[in-house]
Structure 1
């Protein structure tokens, strides 16, 4: 029988999902270095996948606790954009189904832009309901960023259909008459909040990319309104745009009267 090439073995290993697979036993004594390298790489991939599944299941604990109590509709709520010097604060509220299985969903800050962009439409496709809330820079200046964030979260929750029976929120109190579980770093502890963080982040990044077409000097596609060196240099040279938060330092000092 013809001996399989290393390339063919690598192809076979891509479909293996457990180190207990007979293929591992079969290849263990293959003397070729390339085969052993491929075997180690496959084992590392499998262990990483298994760890990701365990972490995913752990992030589902809060939702499962409520489901076991007969609470069907649980909304995860998160925001993005509290710290930038420009643009809105955006909140998302997401109700996930009980069979949700997108293992990659995690705190949006732990994911690359490419992964977030891939996951957002998948979440939208399977979610029971999604709501988006937004307060622009003028609203932030009028209310302050904390209150503006609460307003954006309230908007997001009120757009959900059905309305949730329980809310899991990232360390905030939302002014709605619904029971709330507040978690510090909730976007890393609850899968619903993780999903909300991804939806909010992708939505806001898209808005900032659109604003960049109007105000290209400020490098919004790379800083999303945060105070990077290039953004601050543009503020100093040109002053604030109509989307800057005038009450935020250092925007205020670069304001041209």
Structure 2
């Protein structure tokens, strides 16, 4: 069951990212402020929904939200500062663009770099618990999917229209056959079939303090 708000004292902004585990493309993040007591029977974690429902919900969110924003950090910046910090940066950029004031931030996950002096709460699997985070997950996912479908036209050999840059076997094999595209994250392992996708250099593991 999802809940409208985490606390009642401040206006909340829900925040989530998409594309963190991909081999190619940017990481996207969204921030959403929903009306008080907003509910929708389909709205939940974007990963639990089919594509048709995600895009239908995007229309609802854009129409009903008090404010929303979507931002991205590209593959070059991901390689430079590492994917965790790039995810934080994308979230900060999305929060920067909100047109309404807010006093509390709900973050999906267990880590976040403090945004200005605004209090926040990290909630594991928060996109399945709070509507504002779920709404942010929908926007981040669908906007990123649109981006990947667009660049897939330049490089059909990687099948980004279907895999969205995630490390499927076909995607990994395409990189081994054709090499890296201009959109690939060079610090991510392609040949390792395990879930550990990051090359463990000292630069990458030197995370920004939270």
TM-score (norm 2): 0.86
- Residue aligning to 1:248: 188
Unaligned runs of 5+ in 1: 1-54, 253-257
SS in 1 for 2:32: strand
Q: Which has the higher contact order (CA 8 A, sep 6+)?
A: 2
1:215 pairs with one of 145, 151, 155: 155
Check whether the contact 1:90–1:200 (CA below 8 A) recurs between aligned residues.
Answer: yes
Within a 5 Å distance, the mapping from 1:1-257 to structure 2 comes to 55-56=1-2, 59-60=3-4, 63=5, 66-67=7-8, 69=9, 71=10, 73-171=11-109, 172-176=111-115, 177-250=117-190
Residues 175-232 of structure 1: CA deviation (Å, up to 9, x unaligned): 3121101101111111100000001000000000001011111000111101112111
Residues 62-90 of structure 1: CA deviation (Å, up to 9, x unaligned): x1x523x3x2x210000011100000000
- Residue aligning to 1:35: none
SS in 2 for 1:214: coil
Check whether the contact 2:39–2:131 (CA below 8 A) recurs between aligned residues.
Answer: no
Check whether the contact 1:244–1:251 (CA below 8 A) recurs between aligned residues.
Answer: no
Q: Distance in 2 between matches of 1:109 and 1:227?
A: 16
SS in 1 for 2:87: helix
Alignment RMSD, CA only?
Answer: 1.5
Q: CA deviation at 1:101?
A: 2.9
Check whether the contact 2:71–2:93 (CA below 8 A) recurs between aligned residues.
Answer: yes
Q: CA deviation at 1:99?
A: 4.4
- Residue aligning to 2:200: none
SS in 1 for 2:184: coil
Check whether the contact 1:123–1:195 (CA below 8 A) recurs between aligned residues.
Answer: yes
Check whether the contact 2:17–2:87 (CA below 8 A) recurs between aligned residues.
Answer: yes
Unaligned runs of 5+ in 2: 193-210
Q: CA deviation at 1:131?
A: 1.4
Q: CA deviation at 1:95?
A: 0.2
- Residue aligning to 2:202: none
Number of paired residues? 190
